[in-house]
Structure 1
Amino acid sequence: MENSNWLLTDDGQLRQFGIADMEPPQKVYRIYHFLTDLDNVLEKFQDDISRIEAIVPLVRKLLISSYWLQLEYDPPSPKTGWAVKFLYREYQYPLTVQMVTWQPGTPSTIHNHGTWGIVALLGGQERNRFWHRAADPDSPHRIESSGELLLNPGDVIGFTSDAIHAIESMGDETTVSFNLYGVTDRDRRYKFHPEHQTAEKF
């Protein structure tokens, strides 16, 4: 099965982009190289889509060069069903790099991120369900379903700031992913309750 690069936009539209298959770099691409290249991308591009399309190849380059990253995660918490291990975060630095695990069968809330994000699946299977805003005067946080996608190891998906989704770990294997996010705008990050057509800050 071929791996894919996916992009989910604010309007709930999903599309493929770029070339997913890459040869390992001749020189080891270390995380400090990666962070330097990210700085350059953030300076060059100001919009979510351009940033995601420029950064995804760098994520792939890092993951196929630095295999140790695939072991840098914590098992899911029995209490929450998930775990986050930060690989890099720095005060006032505009990026967060982390490894995330989900226990099989564990669903997330329906949410946006209030920033752009990139998720590269390394292990297990993850179902993403997508929504888009469909506000009306009586229900400003009304959303409608816009599809779903099953991610397999090697797939990478990017989200624009107001892209709305929920995930669920499928099968019998813990999902492991490499996640990268920009600076979250807390005033724009929500979890949604479509059954009540409401949302709350997240």
Structure 2
Amino acid sequence: MTARHPAPPRATLLVIAKEPVPGRVKTRLTPPYTPREAATLAEAALADTLHTVLEAPARRRVLVLDGAPGRWLPPGFDVVPQEDGGLDERIAAAFGHCDRGPALLIGMDTPQLTARLLAETAGAGHDAWFGPAEDGGFWALGLADPGLAAALVRGVPMSTERTGAALRRRLVEAGLTVRDLPVLRDVDTAADAAAVAACCAPGSRFATALHSLSGERR
């Protein structure tokens, strides 16, 4: 008889995000887009991300939010506020909402993310999961033990072209086995938006919103 191996535990999926308010989100999209148009794209990216997370297997789904929930929030998420401080502090604190591991944190900047990729991410045999972004940052961080987040993330310089490398180096120096995820492109600029929309699933909210805004400009 073939021995059965226990299935790896399902991860808590964390989404760290800002409420899509004009002037507060996606400011690098302006110009060419207006603050309101940039917020429209941010809302579409966030909604796509949340619905993708709903499609992936998870122990629990948590939205770590700067702001207030809106019509873009589907049911199925626990909503908790972001802590004060820099992004490193807020990411570290987000993992504190996991009562046990593993946990995977993603942002709202990669609407091309698929449920299949999320489902394949956290599995047995690794201590950490790292998703690098094209701009040198990262789109995902997963930890088998979320309690390590504070020591690993706090103090990492954020929003630089060296952020991802610095964070991954921390993981390795801590003696963790790291699974590298595919490189994804964040939506920061208008060029990013166009490239990411082309990678999104047909009919995605983000691609539809970008197409609509581009049509209005013709």
TM-score above 0.5, yes or no: no
Higher helix content, 1 or 2: 2
- Could you state the TM-score of these two structures normalised by the residue count of structure 1? 0.26
More relative contact order, 1 or 2 (CA 8 Å, 6+ apart): 1
Which has a greater percent of strand? Answer: 1
